[in-house]
C-alpha cells in the first residue's frame, strides 16, 4: 500500500493495469482498428437506411438467401474488426487462429454472394426485365470476380504481415462498393471525386499513416488503390459488348420459372 501526503492509497483493482496496458497498445497502433471502424460505418451508411425503410414499410424481401447474405457480411465486418484489435494488442496467436477460419469464411461469403447475385439476376429475367437484370448484377458480379484475387493475395502474403494487413484493408474497402452506390449524397456532393475519396478512405488513411510514420507508401496500397480505381469504372461496362454477351449467355441458362 502506497502513502501519499500521509494518506494510504488503496491498490488499483486487479485487472486495471492489464486494461491500461491494452488501451496503451491501441493508442500506439490505432490505424487498422480505425480503418475497420471506417469500413463498418460506410457499410452501415449504405445499407441500414434502406433496410430500416423496408422494415417500416413491410416490404422486406421474402427470399431467405438475401437475409443470410446480410448476416454473413455482418459477421465478416465483425471478424475484420476483431482481427485488427487482436493485431493491435499483439495477440498474434488469436489473430492467426481466427485467420484460419476467416479464410474459409471468405470462401463461404464469396459462394453466397454469387448465389444472391445469380438469384436476383434470374428473378429479373423471369419478370421480363433483362435490362434491370444487367443493371443490378453488374456491381456484385465485378466484386465477385475481383474478390478471389485481392483476398487471395492477402492470404498468400499472410506470413508477410506488412503486405498481408494492407491487402486486407484493400479487400475490406473493395467490398463496401455496394454500400457506397446506395448512399444518398446531397446534389452538391454527387461527383466521382467525392465518391472515390469516401470509398477509398480506409486505404487513403493507411497511406497517410505510412507516410507520416515511415515517409514511404507501401506498394500494396499503391497496387490496391489502382485496382479500386479500375473497379470504379465498372458502370462503363453496362453497354459494353462483353457485359451484354455475358448476361446474354447467363440468361440463356436461366432455370425454368417456378
**What's the CA gap between 254 and 258, in Å, rounded?**
11
Q: Is residue 116 a contact partner of residue 141, using CB atoms and an 8 Å limit?
A: no
Q: What is the pLDDT of residues 60-92, one digit of tens each?
A: 777 777 778 888 999 999 999 999 999 988 899
**What's the CA gap between 33 and 193, in Å, rounded?**
25
Grid cell 514511404 — which residue?
A: 216
Contacts of residue 173, Cβ cutoff 8 Å, sequence gap at least 6? 39, 199, 200, 202, 203, 224, 228
User: Which residues on neighbouring strands pair with residue 9, listed in sequence order?
Assistant: 2
Q: Is residue 207 a contact partner of residue 225, using CB atoms and an 8 Å limit?
A: yes
Q: What are phi and psi of 9, to 5 degrees?
A: -100, 130
Which pTM does this prediction carry?
Answer: 0.84
Q: What is the pLDDT of residues 190-227, one digit of tens each?
A: 899 999 999 999 999 999 999 999 999 999 999 999 99
For position 13, what pLDDT does the model report? 59
Q: Which of 63, 46, 74, 64 is nearest to 178 (CA)?
A: 46
C-alpha cell belonging to residue 205: 488513411
Quick one: how far is CA 195 from the chain centroid?
16
Average pLDDT over residues 9-22: 54
Amino acid at each position: 500500500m502506497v502513502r501519499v501526503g500521509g494518506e494510504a492509497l488503496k491498490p488499483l483493482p486487479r485487472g486495471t493495469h492489464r486494461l491500461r496496458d491494452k488501451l496503451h497498445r491501441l493508442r500506439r497502433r490505432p490505424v487498422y482498428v480505425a480503418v475497420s471502424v471506417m469500413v463498418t460505418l460506410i457499410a452501415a451508411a449504405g445499407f441500414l437506411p434502406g433496410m430500416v425503410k423496408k422494415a417500416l414499410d413491410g416490404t422486406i424481401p421474402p427470399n431467405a438467401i438475401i437475409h443470410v447474405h446480410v448476416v454473413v457480411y455482418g459477421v465478416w465486418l465483425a471478424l475484420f474488426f476483431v482481427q485488427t484489435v487482436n493485431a493491435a494488442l499483439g495477440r498474434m496467436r488469436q489473430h492467426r487462429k481466427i485467420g484460419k477460419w476467416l479464410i474459409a469464411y471468405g470462401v463461404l461469403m464469396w459462394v453466397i454472394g454469387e448465389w444472391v447475385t445469380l438469384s436476383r439476376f434470374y428473378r429479373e429475367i423471369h419478370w421480363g426485365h433483362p435490362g434491370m437484370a444487367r443493371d443490378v448484377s453488374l456491381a456484385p458480379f465485378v466484386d465477385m470476380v475481383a474478390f478471389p484475387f485481392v483476398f487471395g493475395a492477402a492470404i498468400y502474403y499472410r506470413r508477410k504481415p506488412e503486405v498481408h494487413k494492407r491487402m486486407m484493408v484493400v479487400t475490406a474497402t473493395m467490398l463496401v462498393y455496394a454500400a457506397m452506390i446506395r448512399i444518398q449524397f446531397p446534389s452538391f456532393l454527387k461527383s466521382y471525386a467525392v465518391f472515390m475519396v469516401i470509398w477509398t478512405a480506409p486505404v487513403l488513411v493507411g497511406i497517410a499513416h505510412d507516410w507520416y510514420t515511415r515517409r514511404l507508401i507501401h506498394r500494396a496500397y499503391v497496387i490496391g488503390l489502382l485496382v479500386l480505381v479500375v473497379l470504379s469504372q465498372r458502370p462503363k461496362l453496362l453497354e459494353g459488348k462483353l457485359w451484354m454477351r455475358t448476361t446474354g449467355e447467363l440468361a440463356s441458362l436461366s432455370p425454368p420459372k417456378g
